[in-house]
Each structure stands twice: as structure tokens, then as C-alpha cells.
Structure 1
Amino acid sequence: MGTTDAGITAITLTEAELDRHVTHAPTRGLLSGTGVPAATDLLTFSPLRTHGLRTLADAVGGPFRVADELRDRLVIGELLSPAGMERESILLDGGTGELTTAYLFAPSDTRPFARSLDTLLRFAAVTEELAGLRGRFASLAGRYGPGTAAEATRRLLTLFQEGAGGEVPPYWKAAALIRPLALAAGPGTASGLSLDVPARLLDQEFGHGRVVRFEEVDFPATLTHEPTRRFLRETGLPEEAVLFHADTDVPLQTLREYVTEEYTGDCLPDELPAHADHLIRLGRLAGDHGLVVDGRTGAVLTHSGPDAALHPLNTDVSTLAFTLWLLHHERTIDEHLGNELTTRAYDHLAAAMLHTLTALDPAATLPDTTWHYWTDAFRDEAGGAL
């Protein structure tokens, strides 16, 4: 096994290493010639460097049963998944050059991935072009909104269909339908927040009259972060969304006011965070989690009952609104597909959703974030968030 240069940009295999394992000529030529990158934004071939070329049967071992027709598939890489998610292995059929994926703890449950290694590398490259808005997506740079996201999806799906004979594997379909949604809202320039979320984006998604916009009289005096006040007045939040219900029955309350009124006898005020008067409750999330915004900074957090635990949720109300839009829009897409993504590729869908969210809001990846509600909700297939 070798590398192309001191930068270790690619992994190559010798003819002796390929030996009888890879007889498909184009694949053999690629692996012994230009090689494969150690990693892309989506996947890694580093198992080749760590373990060499090994069969699925050798990689699994132990008690896991491998179907006879799969035993000689070669484990050549892994899909890169958000933290906390199992990595799925990339398997090569050395005779046909076709690629599938499977978890090593369920090695016989394979899914189609790409018709060839060359196709896989092209799919990964074009997805990176989308992320950087370059190459075939350069014309979309500086453009935002649902129309731009839809155009990016159309381009990506077309490229995948051309390389997959019209039948796009679940992983790439999830990537094409979900990752471009990051373009639905632009970076915050006018709002003073992370994103500029047009009011019409929420109105179109949730329905006219189902987005609550607050008035000055609704704000506690401790909500002093002006960009947050302006966003809640002009853009607002959906009254009800996946996993979320806004507090609309009374003017917004501080966390201390809310707890005193709702949990008298169960939660003493001195059990609240020291800055409870500056935490403004916006609503609740499924699972008995309150949702609050820090009136001084605009940060959005979850608050869990009498234990007074606070956890980062979103950077601010603009990324909160985008998250609620993203969840609702994903469900609309999947319902249009007959729930194909949630039934055939839930893990791929969850990974694409987490990638899309963290691309715009790093709250889940900050060093001080030990638990994150959206991350747990997206991963939980049984919970039905997606």
C-alpha cells in the first residue's frame, strides 16, 4: 500500500495487494493508479490504510452471521457520521465493482450505494461542490430562499440520476433532498442574528395565521437583546411545529415567573438558575423540556423542570425558527415520497438533517454542549421526530 506524496492525499494499493480480491478492471486500475482520497467531507477510506484490503467475513468475525453471497465483499471505507452515530461501512464487490453499505453489526443488511468506485467519487465531489457553492453550483452563490434550495436539489438529483441509471440510492437521495435546504435562509446581515429568515418563509410553510408574532407589551423588561425582540415582532415563531408548542396564552414570562405560577410546591425559586429573571420562556418541546431565550444574549436553551438543567439548543431565535422550518419541510418532502426516506434510510436522513442544521448553527458542536435536544431527537427513530 502506498500514498501519492508526503501530503498523504490518496491511498493506493499494489497489484499484489489487489491480487485475486479485485478482478473488475476499472476498479483495479483506479485503486492501483490514482488511488482514493483518505477522506472526503462524506466518507473515509482510512480503513484501507489501517487494516488493508479485507473481506466482510474477516472484518466482522465473532457472532455476526454473514450471508454466503456477501462474505467476499471488501470493506474499503466508512461513511462519516455526526458524533454519536454508528459508522456504516462501504463494501466493494471485487468482481462487478458495485458498492453497497452495511453496518458491521448487521453485515447482511446491505444497501445500494454506487454503481462503481468512480461514480462514488464523483458523487462525493459534486456534493462537496454544493457545500462550497462552487463548480456546478457556483451560480447559486449569494442566492438564498426556498427557490434556491429547490434549484440546488434539482441539479444534485439530476447529477445523481445520470450516474445511477435513474435510480438514486437512498443515501444520495437523502443528501440531494436535505442538504440544499441550508440555502433556504441567508446569513444574518439585516437581522443582527445568525440568519436572515424572511417572515414569508414561515408563513408559506406553516400557513397564514399559524405564526405568532409578538408585540412590545408581550416582552418582559429583561428581554433586552434587540435583534431577538425585533425577530419575535416581525418574523415570529410557528404556534405549533414538530416537537414544539409556543406559549401564546399569556405575555411572555421570565423563567422565574413561569415556574412560580406553574410549579408551586414542586419547584422552589432557589432551585432555578441564578439568572432566571433574564431567561424568557418561549414555549415547550416534547419530552417535558421548556424552551427559553437568554434576554441578554439571545441564546436559546432548553430547561428541564425542577432540576434546573440548562442546555444549549440554538444560537438564537433565527436558527430556532430555521430548525422548526427544516423539521416541518423534511416531513413534507418525505410524505410526498411515500415516507421512503424514513422507512428505507432513516439513519441517512438523520445524518443529512444534522449536517444541514450544524452547517448553519454550531450549537450542537460547541465544546460546552454536553447534551443537545435536536441531535437526540433526530437520531431517535422510535421517537418519530423525522
Structure 2
Amino acid sequence: MADALRIAITRRDVEEWFGPDEVVRHDLPGIAHEPTRRFLAEVGLPRRAALIGFEPDAEPDPGRDGRIVLGAYGSLRTADQAVLLDGATGRVFAEERYGDPALMSVDVSTLVRNCALVEAIRPGRGPVRTAEELIDLLGETEPELNPGHSFWHTSFALWQLRRAALPGDGLAVRITPAMLDLVYENEFSGYEERQLPAAITHEPTRRFLLDVGLIDAWAYLDMRSDGKPLPTLAELAAERRADWDDEPEPPADAEHLVVLGYVSEDGDLLVDGRTGVVRRWNTGGDEPFLDTLDTDLSTLAFTMWVIGRMHRQGERFGIGIHDVWESIAVDLLSSVDPLAWAEPGGYWEDMILDGINGLGP
């Protein structure tokens, strides 16, 4: 029949994809499109998949052109955006903060199939399915989608990056100069042994600075690249206090905190020489304070790599930067470096969610 769903999916299929306890059937008599109503009642939807939480409303929403809210998508600290079903046609739309809702899936069968594909690649393990393969599949089954503004094109292109989050040797993530060069083209450079103070006793951190190093400047982070030995915060604060009367007293452990550079307008970028944790001595407000930027230098570099690769993937596949881009960035980075996202209002949250310096949407 002309209005049949595009893909044949059974109850057994969705239970195998998401688990029997994670699939819910919904009786929604307000849906006029019979194949859609039958699919939701007999096959069902996952509770949560591909950053979408499914909790369908029983009745159409007059404030959304009579569409039915199927649920919402979003991640840690990103605003939930509604997933909407046109009850007359069966088409599914993704609501966004700016502009009209964009076509998300041609029907609920492709919606659920796409959710399953994302959940298969999102953990970053298991069989490899390339972005090209998955995006070609979209072209075959849903040619109506606009790749530049598609929830699924964006998801298939970006979730692949999680595969790179492999455990490091003494640091959280394995990251190499060759990996960084793919995005930053030799902009990262290592330090010389003479530049590293004795305060850096954490051997993996010391090795990372020698073998991989840091980029000179990136997104309001300006590294010390004058070739001089890196000072401790205690040493730098003493120099400043000799010149400036209003320089605040450094924190108690300042002799163990090594100054890598500056966080523009905020203070100093530090690494704890004992643990490798990346900190910020924030002097941009009324009261100075220490906060945490990253678990270690590997997750700092990995964050830079992910953001760079996300933009490259966008260029490669003609993908625009929109709300799902933001949600994936936050979910991916917070899963790899939860310490950096532990507290609201952290550095990366501001950088990505506020779109500072081209990092976010």
C-alpha cells in the first residue's frame, strides 16, 4: 500500500536491538496514519536510544502544528529538543532552538532502525561500520533527508570518533602525534627535558610533554612557547607579586602546579606535577580559585582532536553544525573525561555550549 512503512521491522527485531525490557509499546488512538499507529502499538519504541528519550504524548500538541511529541533528544546540560510525529503522514521531525523542525525520519520504522544503528556504533566498540556505509544506507532508504541538516547524517559521521578513545599508558586516553597531525598538521610540539621542572614527578605526564607536547594556541588557550623552563605557579606568582601589588596569593599547593600557559582573561593553565590533572588558576573574577579542566593532558589533547575532527567530518559529509552536533560533542567528551564535566559551568561546557571561538554550533 502507498502509505506503508518503508522498512519491515518486527517486535523481535527491536527486542534484539535494544533488549526486551527497553522496548515499550504505545497505544495512541490520536494518530490517523494507520501503519504508524499499528507500529507503535505492536512493535514499539526504545525507552532511550541515540540520545533520544521516547515518552509519547497521547494527544497532538496544538502549539506544534498538531504534531505529537514522541520524546526529546539531548545530552548532559544540553537543552532537550522535541521529536515530533505528524500523525497524518507518519513523518518524524526534530525540533531545534532556531528555525523550523527538520525532517528526522520518513516514518517510525526508519526512526527505530536508525536508533539501532547509532546504538551499535555509539559505544565505540564492536564491528566497524563506517560513516560512508551508514550514510549511503540513508541515501538508499531515506533520500528525502537533507544531509546538511540531518540528525542521522550527523550522528553517523560523529559517533565514529569514539572509537579513538582507547586507554592510554598511564594516562586516560591513548593519543599520538600522528593522530593529532591528521587534524592540526604538526602544530603540536614536544618540550625539551630542560624545560620540565622537577615538580613534574608524574612520569606519564612528563613523557607526554616530551613526546607529544601541546599546541601553541587553541580556543583561548595560549601555551608558553618561548623555550624557557616551565615555572611552577609558586614561582610565577612570586615574580608577579614583585611587579604587581594586586597579584593574589597562590593556592597552598602552588609549588606542585606547573604553568603550561594561559586561559585568556581567566588565569593560568596548570598541570599538577604529582597527579597529571589539568587545572586552571582562575583569577578573572573577584576571588581567585582553582578548578579542573581535564583528567590529564591526554584528555585535553583528545578534546582538541575530537572538536577538530567533528568540524572536518562536517566538511567532508556536508553536515551543518546544529543542535544534535552539540549533544553528541557533550556526550562523547563527558564520557571520555567525566572529571572535566563533573561540575556545571566548567571550562569545556562554556566553550562548547556557548559556541565560543567556533567550538560549538
- What's the TM-score bracket when you normalise by the shorter of the two chains? 0.7 to 0.9
Alignment of 1:56 with 2:61, yes or no, is yes
Evaluate the alpha carbon distance shift between residue 243 and residue 172 of structure 1 in structure 2; reply closer, same or farther with a 3 A threshold.
farther
- The answer to whether the Cα contact below 8 Å between 2:70 and 2:83 also exists between their aligned partners in 1 is yes
Give secondary structure in 2 for the equivalent of 1:195: coil
Q: 1:186, CA displacement in angstroms? A: 2.2
State which of 252, 275, 296 in structure 2 corresponds to 1:316.
296
- The answer to whether the Cα contact below 8 Å between 2:352 and 2:359 also exists between their aligned partners in 1 is yes
Alignment of 1:385 with 2:359, yes or no, is yes
- Cα distance in 2, alignment partners of residues 71 and 115 from structure 1: 18
Q: 1:224, CA displacement in angstroms? A: 0.6
Give RMSD over aligned pairs. 2.6
State which of 217, 242, 253 in structure 2 corresponds to 1:275.
253
Code of the aligned partner of 2:70: I
Evaluate the alpha carbon distance shift between residue 166 and residue 195 of structure 1 in structure 2; reply closer, same or farther with a 3 A threshold.
farther
- Cα distance in 2, alignment partners of residues 239 and 286 from structure 1: 13
- Cα distance in 2, alignment partners of residues 87 and 42 from structure 1: 10
The residue number in structure 2 matching 1:35 is 44
- The answer to whether the Cα contact below 8 Å between 1:91 and 1:99 also exists between their aligned partners in 2 is yes
Give secondary structure in 1 for the equivalent of 2:291: strand
Question: Which shows bigger deviation, 122-131 or 348-357?
Answer: 348-357
**Mapping of residues 284-303 of structure 1, within 5 Å:** 284-303=262-281
- Cα distance in 1, alignment partners of residues 138 and 236 from structure 2: 51
Code of the aligned partner of 1:257: E
- The answer to whether the Cα contact below 8 Å between 1:254 and 1:279 also exists between their aligned partners in 2 is yes
Evaluate the alpha carbon distance shift between residue 331 and residue 10 of structure 1 in structure 2; reply closer, same or farther with a 3 A threshold.
closer
- The answer to whether the Cα contact below 8 Å between 2:350 and 2:356 also exists between their aligned partners in 1 is no
- The answer to whether the Cα contact below 8 Å between 1:130 and 1:152 also exists between their aligned partners in 2 is no
Give secondary structure in 2 for the equivalent of 1:187: coil
Give secondary structure in 1 for the equivalent of 2:31: coil
- Cα distance in 2, alignment partners of residues 248 and 351 from structure 1: 34
The residue number in structure 2 matching 1:163 is 141
Code of the aligned partner of 2:159: R
> Among the aligned pairs, what percent are the same residue?
30
Aligned length: 336
Q: 1:256, CA displacement in angstroms? A: 2.0
Q: 1:310, CA displacement in angstroms? A: 1.6
Q: Structure 1: which 4+ aligned runs deviate by more than 6 Å? A: none
The residue number in structure 1 matching 2:283 is 305
Gaps of at least 5 residues in structure 1 are 61-69, 141-150
- Cα distance in 1, alignment partners of residues 312 and 22 from structure 2: 40
- Cα distance in 2, alignment partners of residues 55 and 77 from structure 1: 13
- Cα distance in 1, alignment partners of residues 356 and 180 from structure 2: 27
Evaluate the alpha carbon distance shift between residue 326 and residue 267 of structure 1 in structure 2; reply closer, same or farther with a 3 A threshold.
farther
Evaluate the alpha carbon distance shift between residue 334 and residue 131 of structure 1 in structure 2; reply closer, same or farther with a 3 A threshold.
closer
Code of the aligned partner of 2:127: S
- Cα distance in 1, alignment partners of residues 45 and 315 from structure 2: 37
Alignment of 1:123 with 2:128, yes or no, is no
Give secondary structure in 1 for the equivalent of 2:130: helix
The residue number in structure 1 matching 2:32 is 23
Code of the aligned partner of 1:223: I
State which of 228, 249, 260 in structure 1 corresponds to 2:205.
228
Evaluate the alpha carbon distance shift between residue 268 and residue 287 of structure 1 in structure 2; reply closer, same or farther with a 3 A threshold.
closer
Evaluate the alpha carbon distance shift between residue 277 and residue 87 of structure 1 in structure 2; reply closer, same or farther with a 3 A threshold.
same
**Mapping of residues 1-386 of structure 1, within 5 Å:** 9-14=22-27, 17-18=28-29, 21-46=30-55, 48=56, 52-57=57-62, 60=63, 70-79=64-73, 81-102=74-95, 109-133=100-124, 138-140=126-128, 152-165=130-143, 167=145, 168=147, 169-188=149-168, 191-208=169-186, 210-249=187-226, 250-262=228-240, 264-268=243-247, 271-305=249-283, 307-336=287-316, 340-342=319-321, 345=322, 347-366=323-342, 369-381=343-355, 384-386=358-360
- Cα distance in 2, alignment partners of residues 139 and 11 from structure 1: 27
Q: 1:85, CA displacement in angstroms? A: 1.9
Code of the aligned partner of 2:337: D
TM-score normalized by the length of structure 2: 0.84
- Cα distance in 1, alignment partners of residues 181 and 35 from structure 2: 51
Q: 1:180, CA displacement in angstroms? A: 1.2
Evaluate the alpha carbon distance shift between residue 279 and residue 337 of structure 1 in structure 2; reply closer, same or farther with a 3 A threshold.
same
Code of the aligned partner of 1:218: Q
Question: Which shows bigger deviation, 225-234 or 21-30?
Answer: 21-30
Query: Relative contact order, CA 8 A, sep 6+: which one is greater?
Result: 2
- The answer to whether the Cα contact below 8 Å between 1:243 and 1:385 also exists between their aligned partners in 2 is no
- Cα distance in 2, alignment partners of residues 9 and 182 from structure 1: 24
- The answer to whether the Cα contact below 8 Å between 2:295 and 2:340 also exists between their aligned partners in 1 is no
Cα deviation, 1:82-123, whole Å, max 9, x if unaligned, reads 2322100111011111001225x87x7211111111111111
Give secondary structure in 2 for the equivalent of 1:273: coil
The residue number in structure 2 matching 1:146 is none
Q: 1:125, CA displacement in angstroms? A: 0.8
- The answer to whether the Cα contact below 8 Å between 2:95 and 2:101 also exists between their aligned partners in 1 is yes
Cα deviation, 1:298-344, whole Å, max 9, x if unaligned, reads 11122212633222211111111111122223333445566x523xx
TM-score normalized by the length of structure 1: 0.79
Give secondary structure in 2 for the equivalent of 1:193: coil
- Cα distance in 1, alignment partners of residues 106 and 265 from structure 2: 42
- Cα distance in 1, alignment partners of residues 59 and 118 from structure 2: 28
Code of the aligned partner of 1:27: T
Cα deviation, 1:259-312, whole Å, max 9, x if unaligned, reads 33346425445x321111111111223443421111111111222126332222
